[in-house]
Structure 1
Amino acid sequence: MIEFDQVTTIFFALAVYMLGTFLNNKILFLNKFCIPAPVVGGLLFALVITFLRGFDILIINLDTSLQNLFMLTFFTTVGLGASFKLLKIGGKLLIIYWLACGFLALAQNVIGVSMAKLLHLDPLIGVMVGAVSMEGGHGAATAFGTTIEELGVDGALSIGLAAATVGLVAGGLIGGPIVKYLMNKYQLKPTETEEISDSSMGNVNQQDTKINSKSFMMQVFIIVFCMALGTFLGDSFTEVTGFVLPGYVGAMFVAVIVRNIIDRISGNVIQMKSIGIIGDITLGIFLSMALMSIQLWEIVDLALPLLLIILVQVIFIALFSIFILFKMLGKNYDAAVMIGGFTGHGLGATPNAIANMDAVVSKFGPSRKAFLVVPLVGAFLIDVFAVPIIITTINLFS
């Protein structure tokens, strides 16, 4: 048995991330479906650990105690990106798409819990294969998996991460074919001819301010302030009400409030470029640590039930997208492109959604509306609905 301390574990997490990035650049399949680098490298690491353990060669224990800190930091940066000013830009389409994502989170939890009961599994396992891992992706699977394990469901984290990985691939596989089907059936064509600019890609909240140590430290101060206040309020809320509230949720919502208060006072304090860098780094590290520590041997017996539940989730989102949401979004080219994004982050993550849409627009033509609405909702607005739905479901069955 070998035990690695915090520093060595972080080193392995970074090494795993770099390995995943290298493989993504070299292997077409991984690049095409936008499989996150931490997922690629982390799963390989987990497979090696499982192999060594399974053949009684070596047991490796990692000190992942800092994982929660990186996770908390990432979700706080997500909250700081939620400027209410952006809602006005998206208009009616953004509201419809946003509400659809909220409905999807509810439906995915209903499907997950119902299928779990049908298969005689703990309902909380169904939650992990519901909105947590589907719409929430690896980030939410890590966050809520830890919470559900604390409620007594062994292997919840591993189940959630495995489901998120399968969902991510499924989202990449079905997005393009669905959009192509809609375009052929309704003979859709883009109405725009201009190239997609940076602003149309949802980067409307980015600033050109140069990064320096003083401004960067201000962003760090704001992030840590939101983390400290948010976790304090979250813990207090749990103690008073008995309602389980994951630590990162309080920090994220405090960050949303802080962002919009600061925006009213001054538009030059928040630098999303710096916050985005911090968010990307902390996301990469905490996902790498989470994937590295997946205990695959705990979920072998659940492989078939998990795949069955995910299959039902995929069928549902495909039918809902084609027959309901497409018509609600206007039944046009922009709507078809947004459907590609919806299936991408509805089963995986926002980068998956962008990849789906990019594949469409690069072949058929631009869609400014799609590249504004989908990233805005997928990046942070989605959590306004999804997180309360997930937390309520967890408390109903805990």
Structure 2
Amino acid sequence: GRALMAFLGVVVGLLVMQDALGIGLAWALGQERLLGLLGASVTLSGGHGTGAAWAKVFAERHGLASATEIAIACATFGLILGGLIGGPVARFLITRYQLAPNLETEVATSTGFEEPNTVRPITAEAVIETVALIAVCLAVGSAFASLLNGTAFELPAFVCVLFVGVVLRNGLAVRGWYRVFEDAVSVLGNVSLGLFLAIALMSLRLGDLASLALPLFVILVVQAIAMAAYAIFVTFRVMGRNYDAAVLAAGHCGFGLGATPTAIANMQAITGQFGPSHLAFLVVPMVGAFFIDIANAIVIKLFLLLPLYG
């Protein structure tokens, strides 16, 4: 509804601000503009997966050296900072404006994100079904990405795979044919991410980043400060200046610098102390797990069209 659209607009605004700020800082520090783009929404709002995907594009098509190493370093830095600043930002807003949840509008039931210790058994059959669905997404999404190669609508393959997954999951649910088992998807996703990070980190040549350490540090620190300010002065105000808005601001810090799990952890910490916010736990996972990747890809493509990288 309206809250989702408003939050998506706020998120898109942050993507544009991060990329403009990153490119501007890279220029001011005498570095390649693409370095600033990697130290912006590509890795901060995008995370490790998006960063690695775009790093390959930057290296192959734009000649940026050590693009993968830069992407992984920026994404890791952002993941840590996103978890560190989300809680303090929400606490400041809650104490500054004396906010509290409206318990009359909160329903009695909680979502799985709000009660992470609630466990459902995962069977071998559920895992096999989930792997099959993922395989379909990979096959169809990769084919779709190949069709877009070389066109104005070209996107990293993972975005097409993600889109196919959303269509498949919702299409099956609407037709009543099959309901995806979220816990199985979560387990397989965490295992895949862990293996990906292990492989990526083993192949990194961190020594190549020695000359870029100071510029990267400056860019990332400024981005973290900008994220906190954006959450306080934009996210909180646009989303209604209430308790839900404060929790949303904490979540925005989590995936604006890191990833959706970081956003969930931030919100769990806040709601565990101050009270529930079902709106935040509905909106943040939807925007942080899907819409942001599509919006981020479009914003990055638009910035790459600018004549700034010669």
What's the TM-score once normalised by structure 1's chain length?
0.70
Among residues 244, 266, 273, which one is paired with 2:176 in the alignment? 266
Cα deviation, residue 264, structure 1: 2.6
List runs of 5+ in structure 2 lacking aligned partners: none
Instruction: Check conservation: 1:190, 1:367, Cα contact below 8 A.
Output: yes
Residue of structure 1 in register with 2:36 after alignment: 126
Q: Assess, with a 3 A threshold, how the Cα gap between structure 1 residues 267 and 198 changes in structure 2: closer, same or farther.
A: farther
Among residues 110, 123, 126, which one is paired with 2:20 in the alignment? 110
Residue of structure 2 in register with 1:221 after alignment: 132
Residue of structure 2 in register with 1:233 after alignment: 144
CA distance in 2, matches of 1:117, 1:243: 28
Cα deviation, residue 197, structure 1: 4.9
Instruction: Check conservation: 2:114, 2:268, Cα contact below 8 A.
Output: no
CA distance in 1, matches of 2:23, 2:160: 25
CA distance in 2, matches of 1:325, 1:378: 14
Larger Rg: 1
CA distance in 2, matches of 1:319, 1:148: 29
Q: Assess, with a 3 A threshold, how the Cα gap between structure 1 residues 222 and 311 changes in structure 2: closer, same or farther.
A: same
CA distance in 2, matches of 1:153, 1:224: 32
Cα deviation, residue 207, structure 1: 11
Residue of structure 2 in register with 1:342 after alignment: 252
Question: SS of the counterpart of 1:199?
Answer: coil
Cα deviation, residue 323, structure 1: 1.5
Instruction: Check conservation: 1:202, 1:372, Cα contact below 8 A.
Output: no
Residue of structure 1 in register with 2:90 after alignment: 179
Residue of structure 1 in register with 2:191 after alignment: 281
Question: SS of the counterpart of 1:120?
Answer: coil
Is the aligned partner of 1:211 residue 2:123?
A: yes
Q: Assess, with a 3 A threshold, how the Cα gap between structure 1 residues 137 and 364 changes in structure 2: closer, same or farther.
A: same
The amino acid of 2:236's aligned partner reads F
Instruction: Check conservation: 1:136, 1:348, Cα contact below 8 A.
Output: yes
CA distance in 2, matches of 1:218, 1:191: 40
Is the aligned partner of 1:329 residue 2:239?
A: yes
CA distance in 2, matches of 1:271, 1:283: 18
The amino acid of 2:258's aligned partner reads G
The amino acid of 1:171's aligned partner reads G
Cα deviation, residue 312, structure 1: 2.1
Instruction: Check conservation: 1:317, 1:343, Cα contact below 8 A.
Output: yes
Instruction: Check conservation: 1:196, 1:368, Cα contact below 8 A.
Output: no
CA distance in 2, matches of 1:275, 1:181: 35
Cα deviation, residue 163, structure 1: 1.2
Is the aligned partner of 1:199 residue 2:111?
A: yes
The amino acid of 1:349's aligned partner reads A
CA distance in 1, matches of 2:281, 2:174: 26
Instruction: Check conservation: 2:159, 2:293, Cα contact below 8 A.
Output: no
Question: SS of the counterpart of 2:72?
Answer: helix
CA distance in 2, matches of 1:353, 1:123: 29
Q: How does 1:2-17 map to 2 (within 5 A)?
A: none
Q: How does 1:160-171 map to 2 (within 5 A)?
A: 160-171=71-82
Q: How does 1:1-398 map to 2 (within 5 A)?
A: 91-151=1-61, 152-192=63-103, 197-199=109-111, 201=113, 211-213=123-125, 215-239=126-150, 241=151, 244-394=154-304, 396=306
Q: Assess, with a 3 A threshold, how the Cα gap between structure 1 residues 271 and 173 changes in structure 2: closer, same or farther.
A: closer
Identity between Structure 1 and Structure 2 (%): 38
